[in-house]
Amino acid sequence: MTKSTNVAKLMMGALVFAFSLGVASHANAIPIFLDQSSIRYLGLINDGIPPDPDSEVSYINHLISMILGDSHVFDTETYFRSSNACAGCGTADTDDTVKDESESPNGNFGGGYTYLLAKYDASQAGSLVWDVRGLTGDFEVQAKLNNKGISHWSLYKAEDTDVPEPMTLTLLGVGLAGLGLLSKRRLR
């Protein structure tokens, strides 16, 4: 067998191994639980009627612009900012929004989202917001707020923040390693 055949087999084996790691870790993953004690919790907006995605985005953007630990009324809504930082989160955008109206606080991350907003009750319980950058797999959010159930949750991306999936990064790394081996062989 030639060295190029060995390199090709090594690269193929590495790809199969990397793929199996991604599949195995997803199949056995425990859902990420998000509640008000999470370090990813950004704050609460006490609001009335369930807003449209544009209103939710403006709520998120106002909340992340606040001083950590601050609370105030803005545009008839009361905002409570947690003391958890969100450095580099970016401005929320309505592009590629995922909204689930099933009243189930469970879902799956998988598109490079930045924020998760959960709206509770149809009247006045409020909305909770979390920083979900870098999270992949299944999630579960706090099921009740002030004894009111969830009415829907939404995932939002920040403007111009496409984050590659971990599997994509793994495959890219394997490909670069293979190119490095081939170039090293050619130099000899």
Query: In this model, does residue 89 exceed pLDDT 60?
Result: yes
Position of tokens 């950058």?
A: 133
pLDDT for 169 equals 58
Under 8 Å between Cβ of 22 and 80: no
Cβ contacts of residue 22 below 8 Å, gap of 6+?
A: 166, 167, 170
Q: What is the pLDDT of residues 125-152, one digit of tens each?
A: 899 999 999 888 888 999 898 888 888 8
Phi (first) and psi of residue 88, to 5 degrees = 75, 15
CA–CA distance, 89 with 85 (Å, rounded to integer):
9
pLDDT value of position 21: 46
Lowest mean pLDDT among 11-15, 33-37, 53-57, 172-176: 11-15
Give the span between the Cα atoms of 155 and 135, in whole angstroms: 12
Query: What is the model's pLDDT at position 19?
Result: 47
d(CA 135, CA 153): 16
Alpha-helix residue ranges (DSSP H) falling in 29-165 = 53-65
What amino acid occupies position 177?
A
* C-alpha dihedral (43, 72, 150, 147), degrees to nearest 10: 110
- Average of pLDDT values for 30-55? 85
164 burial via Cβ count (<10 Å: 0-12, 13-18, 19+): exposed
Q: Which long-range contacts (CB under 8 A, 24 or more apart) does 58-61 make?
A: 59/117, 59/127, 59/129, 60/92, 60/115, 60/117, 60/129, 60/156, 61/91, 61/92
Q: How far is it, in rounded angstroms, from Cα 98 to Cα 178? A: 37
